Structure 1
Amino acid sequence: MYKEDRLPQNAKEGILFLLIISVISVNTIAPIIVGLERGFSIAVYMETLKIIPIMWVIVILLVRAVAGPLVGKIMPVIIGPTDGFNARVLLDTLLNVTVLSIFLSIIGPWVGTKQISLEPFQQFLHIWPRNFAVAFWIELLLAQPIARLAMKKLHQRQSIQAHQL
């Protein structure tokens, strides 16, 4: 893996990184998408809060079981050894958000309405581009930078502690 102080360096840090991104993402993306769908109000937001824990678990499972492995196979095909950190982050974010937004544009309405129906498939071409755009910009401008900053601060603290020994 590409070694960078703004990225996790081991499994424990990977879990922390995933938790930071997923908590930020689920708590911002879901309310925005539901608000765009049903209108922005306190009542709609309170209803959204009820499904956030379920969506968070679904997001974690999809990242670990689907998006992560798939993106892990695609990245080496596209990214070259001379490509920089920003190119890698942008492509990784683009690919992960694409995969996750496809699945969550179908699963999200099922969780929100508490029923499995064909409606998400019928509305897919209408809802997926909007969902992708919301998720992509939240990831790119909010969730990913905060998680990378946390990793950088963690590695700085580890480096200081190692030098003090």
Structure 2
Amino acid sequence: MHKEDRLPQSPKEGIIFALIISIISVNTIAPIIMGMELGFSKENYLETLKVIPIMWVIVMILVRFVAGPLVGKVLPKFAGKTDGFNARILLNTLLNVTVLSILLTIIGTWVGTKQISLEPFQNFFHSWFRNFGVAFWIELLIAQPIARFVMKKLHSKEASRTKAVNL
């Protein structure tokens, strides 16, 4: 999958890809989960907006230092050598969302309530299944496809430029 034009092929593209996914994810998943938890209202949405920058930083740290390395080790154990791009992306998304939703069900509650408590552990399974479902479908249907589309367009432009220079 290294030369797949729908995926980043350099560190700079990796940062762009991660920014697209994380910004979309944090700005959609957090408000939906908060709305489901506290009710959908303008006041709850505005409260969510106050937490989003903090959550975005936490998500980026968790992706880089926890989910990424963990999924990188587990993915090869489940992905077959003949699995196609879509199968690998689906498995990668499933594993990343699983790890992140487990951690963020706990950490997100602490950040949202501005206190460390046992509450996220007491309500873990109810909250985690809901959070996982919201995050998985947002990632699968919105964030990941948009990021891959941007990568494909970026690589297409680069190929056009290279072709024009070589003519």
Q: CA deviation at 1:78?
A: 1.0
SS in 2 for 1:131: helix
What is the aligned partner in structure 2 of residue 40 from structure 1? 40
Equivalent residues in 2 for 1:142-161 (5 A)? 142-161=142-161
Equivalent residues in 2 for 1:35-114 (5 A)? 35-114=35-114
String of CA shifts for 1:113-165, please: whole Å, max 9, x gaps. Answer: 11000000111011000000000000000000000000000000000011111
Letter in structure 1 aligned against 2:18: L
Q: CA deviation at 1:2?
A: 3.6
Could you list the runs of 5+ residues in structure 2 that have no partner in the other structure? none
**Cα pair 2:2 2:9 within 8 Å, conserved:** no
Letter in structure 2 aligned against 1:155: H
2: CA distance between counterparts of 1:126 and 1:58? 22
2: CA distance between counterparts of 1:81 and 1:161? 33
What is the aligned partner in structure 2 of residue 9 from structure 1? 9
Per the normalisation by structure 1, the TM-score is 0.98
Q: CA deviation at 1:86?
A: 0.5
String of CA shifts for 1:57-95, please: whole Å, max 9, x gaps. Answer: 000000000000000001111112210000000000000
Letter in structure 2 aligned against 1:61: I
SS in 2 for 1:55: helix
1: CA distance between counterparts of 2:74 and 2:41? 40
Q: Are 1:29 and 2:17 an aligned pair? A: no
**Cα pair 2:31 2:48 within 8 Å, conserved:** yes
User: Identity of paired residues, percent?
Assistant: 72
SS in 1 for 2:147: helix
Per the normalisation by structure 2, the TM-score is 0.97
Structure 1 vs Structure 2 CA RMSD: 0.7
What is the aligned partner in structure 2 of residue 139 from structure 1? 139
SS in 1 for 2:46: helix
Aligned residues: 165
Letter in structure 1 aligned against 2:30: A
